[in-house]
Amino acid sequence: MTKIQTYEDFVKVHGILLASSGLPRTLHRKLFDKLTSETFDGGAYFQVDPCEDGRQRRLLLTSAATMPKDSNVFLIDHAWTFRLSDAYKQLQEVPGLAQRMAALMCVDIDSNSDAEEMDGDEVSGDNNSKLNVTDIVENEVSYAKERGYDTVKWLELDDLDIDDDMLLSLDLSSKFPDLLALSLYGNKLENVEIVVQEVTKLKNLKALWLNNNPVLENCDGCMPDTIFKGCPGLEIYNSCYTSNFGEWALGFSGGVYGKDNPCSIHQNDHPLQSVTSLELSNRSIHSLINKSFSPVEMPSLSHLNIRGNPLKQNSVSELFKVLKGFPCLQSLEVDLPGPLGDSAIEILESLPNLSLLNGINRSKIIETGNHVIDSILQPRLPEWTADEPLADRVINAMWLYLMTYRLADEEKIDETSVWYVMDELGSALRHSDEPNFRVAPFLFMPEGKLESAFFSALTAIKQSLFMFYNKLDIVKLKDKIMHINVQNGDECTRDFLFGVGEDKQRSARLTAYFHTPQYYFIQEYEKFHQKLQSKSSTPLPVKSSSSRTLRHSDGCALRVYTDLPQVEEFLTRPEFIITTELKDADIIWTSMQVDDDVKKAAEITDRQYINQFPFEACLVMKHHLAETIQKTHGSPDWLQPTYNLESHLSPLIGDYYVRKRDGMNNLWILKPWNMARTIDTTVTDNLSAIIRLMETGPKICQKYIEHPALFQGKKFDLRYIVLVRSVKPLELFLADVFWVRLANNQYTLEKHSLFEYETHFTVMRDFFLQFDVIGNDLQNYRGRLNQKNTPEFVKEFEQEHQVKWLDIHERVRDMIRSVFEAAATLHPEMHSPTSRAMYGVDVMLDSSFQPKLLEVTYCPDCTRACKYDTEAVVGGGELVKGSDFYNYVFGCLFLDETTHVCSL
């Protein structure tokens, strides 16, 4: 490539980059001059200013009266560039990196506002985290006496590793029979019967928090009802209001009741009369018609937030009637559209005393005439604990600052994206829908080669006129911009979603950066979930073989054309012979995708058999596979909740919010539609990360199996081989041989491990894998490799878990049959009389040994099956020779044999 010596060379080498950056031609030379002289002069024009109580920074123009559009360009350095899998390791190992990133992201102070607000609503005592449970209970008794109570009425035992046995030993009902509020947040409670037994002994209980305990995942949905029956006075359960809520729950939300004041001293007074502000958002309230929620009990109520509540038991007219009764109500926050209808104007007309609706002044709403309004979305600010290491804080906060690119040359595009953080000046640019600056990455190649420095270019742009995106009704009211130049003292902003409109789910993607209305997304999730629940399918009948054998009447061998070395080497039966001439082949067995264009170009005829079915993308591409199953089976137990991020981001966000609200696990795995070997696959519980990862290519987001079955403490999955003779009727066969793929590290959900490839992924090692098998591809499967054949694994697994493998195998068979039935039912066009195919089906077992579908692979790599002899675990336990693997595969598919396979 051309070495850059002149401006003309610069334009020649960087022409495509310059065009894609959007930088005006009038600034190209100025950019060249600054790049060649490495001029970083932004500090002379801008100032970084703390905001949001020091938890964020903004960028202000300070150098001149105005900065006209397209008048200057500034270089922004990249302070940190990395591949995602290396992020945590770099923060730990690169000197000063964690400190710089923590300061840039405003997470370098000892504690955030949440940690600083440890008052009466938190656990009392001196440094309780260092005390054991017994000490804490004794402290609670002393604390209650100091407050003038004869017995403990409010008990917080959060994050103390309390398990089922410890809960039993605490015997809370005997020690604290008058307990009103009990928090067991973040412990290790698992057994539903034990938890229900101990909790329901507390007959006076008003509030119970079991959030973030495994028991919520283990229960079958009946546990809440059982607890409600045993604790008839319960008003708050896992941060949500029960249908029994009343004066106590409202007093808790209104700041009347808490640890320092758990109950009303005088039974005949009106404890809620002092409440002026009531925060009821996201409490799962279904009805506001309640004797305690009334002007009589709360005559001073002036601000009410009822966002995120379904309120499905109340009509719009009923709700207006209730709210009209509060004489002092001036400020209301409610979802729009929502339980009060779709129009802000109609709400104001029905509630004439309101001066603020969703934070917007009444006169402003009437002036603009907007029916759907919301206050300016509040930014997401990182949260952390005082004892959390800087590296952990940065990993959590970085999704609010990251940008990404992917390198490519004439030969190929990088499989893994690069993420980067701009320097302190660039990172202080906050988002605006009407930005006054634009920033774009720019690769400067002074030597004319790809290995060069990355910068970002910043330039002032013309302000957009006032606009809003109303598909999801997430609207930010702002004054119209009447000038086109940036003024001295103005905040400098950029559009974080530049070029992303509502056709690409802009409003939903704003959730990565802002607290968007939860109610809308929960509604979208409920609609999506209800649609899945309504699906049902009838199993297709298992029919006898209708496919015909391919044997030539003259006894001649079938000619096989293949580009797979294993087929050439191991297909040794006399009925088949390898040919190098495609046009002469009876059977084409290829790793390539053969579509109509390929058939035409290669002159493939309708008489030649091909190892793939039309439209098989409905199985082998992850987003199509999920759609195929959801459209036929709905939401079967063997498919984890799955969302195509390109089309179903809103219901995913709603699912995330519901799980967070209910204290459930929120760990998700993101998988590219069509990538192998877990490339660009990420495990995270960070909602901003989930949304931002869409930027590196189309993905599905699937609920992570956080409690998998383990083998000797390690995660594993199973690879099954499925042979398809026909789609109509459906003829399936399962190979007797399957193999196991094992992770290298002991399984853990500790946050640091989410970046460890060898803890959460299994493709780098399986029981049949040796160094001589993988050869030059060793870098993709790094780790300690060993051997163990499948029968040994099954025997040891049965002993470890006291289960019968044949029971598991039957469940796997049923699941695989259902998967292919879904494809055959939804896509009958898959049928082709000259198609035969082999698929790999990857399966994981959960901790209850139920199978979970991972993916279906076209033309799977069967090196392991060919390389080693093994005994069949199912059937008669015969010896299956690896060298005969393709012999019995081809025998099944083309000669109607069933050696070492079984019909599904």
Residue pLDDT, tens place only, 298-347? 999 999 999 889 899 999 999 999 999 999 999 999 988 789 988 889 99
255 φψ region: left (φ > 0), alpha (ψ -120 to 50), beta (else): left
Q: Among positive and negative, which fits the CA dihedral 482, 486, 491, 495?
A: positive
- Could you tell me the pLDDT band of residue 368, with boundaries at 50, 70 and 90? confident
Using the predicted structure, report yes or no on whether residue 784 has a pLDDT greater than 60: no
Which one is predicted more confidently, 410 or 629? 629
Q: Which residues pair with 711 in a beta bridge?
A: 714
Closest CA to 107 of 377, 399, 376: 399
**C-alpha pair distances (Å), 484 with each of 210, 435, 462, 492, 794:** 54, 11, 5, 13, 71
Q: What is the pLDDT of residue 545?
A: 60
Q: What is the pLDDT of residue 846?
A: 95
SS3 at position 732: strand
Percent of the chain whose pLDDT exceeds 70: 87
- pTM, two decimals, is 0.77
Q: What is the pLDDT of residue 375?
A: 61
Closest CA to 417 of 86, 653, 91: 86
Which helix H or strand E contains 164, and what residues bound it? helix 164-170
Percent of the chain whose pLDDT exceeds 90: 60
Using the predicted structure, report yes or no on whether residue 462 has a pLDDT greater than 80: no
SS3 at position 577: strand
Q: What is the pLDDT of residue 773?
A: 33
Q: What is the pLDDT of residue 734?
A: 96
Which helix H or strand E contains 99, and what residues bound it? helix 97-104
Angstrom distance (rounded) from CA 525 to CA 657:
9
Q: Which residues pair with 870 in a beta bridge?
A: 880
Q: What is the pLDDT of residue 70?
A: 86
Q: What is the pLDDT of residue 597?
A: 85
Q: What is the pLDDT of residue 117?
A: 39
Weakest mean pLDDT among 52-61, 412-421, 572-581, 664-673: 412-421
Which one is predicted more confidently, 111 or 752? 752
Weakest mean pLDDT among 204-213, 602-611, 785-794: 785-794
Weakest mean pLDDT among 131-140, 371-380, 704-713, 820-829: 371-380
Using the predicted structure, report yes or no on whether residue 608 has a pLDDT greater than 80: yes
Tell me the average pLDDT of the chain.
Answer: 86
Using the predicted structure, report yes or no on whether residue 644 has a pLDDT greater than 60: yes
Q: What is the pLDDT of residue 549?
A: 73
Using the predicted structure, report yes or no on whether residue 113 has a pLDDT greater than 70: no
Weakest mean pLDDT among 98-112, 578-592, 679-693: 98-112
Tokens found for residue 158: 């959060």
Tell me the average pLDDT across 864-882.
87
Q: What is the pLDDT of residue 633?
A: 95
Q: What is the pLDDT of residue 66?
A: 81
Residue pLDDT, tens place only, 135-184? 888 888 888 777 777 788 999 999 899 999 999 999 999 999 999 999 99
Tell me the average pLDDT across 229-240.
95
Tokens found for residue 445: 């190649």
Angstrom distance (rounded) from CA 442 to CA 75:
9
- Could you tell me the pLDDT band of residue 703, with boundaries at 50, 70 and 90? very high
- Could you tell me the pLDDT band of residue 121, with boundaries at 50, 70 and 90? very low
What are the residues whose beta carbons fall under 8 Å from the beta carbon of 625, sequence distance 6 or more? 618, 619, 819, 855, 856
What is the separation, in whole angstroms, between the first and last Cα of the chain?
58
Calculate helix-pair angle for 7-21, 28-37, nearest 10 degrees: 110
Angstrom distance (rounded) from CA 660 to CA 663:
5
Residue pLDDT, tens place only, 478-503? 333 333 578 888 999 999 999 998 89
Residue pLDDT, tens place only, 68-105? 888 899 999 999 999 998 999 999 999 999 999 999 99
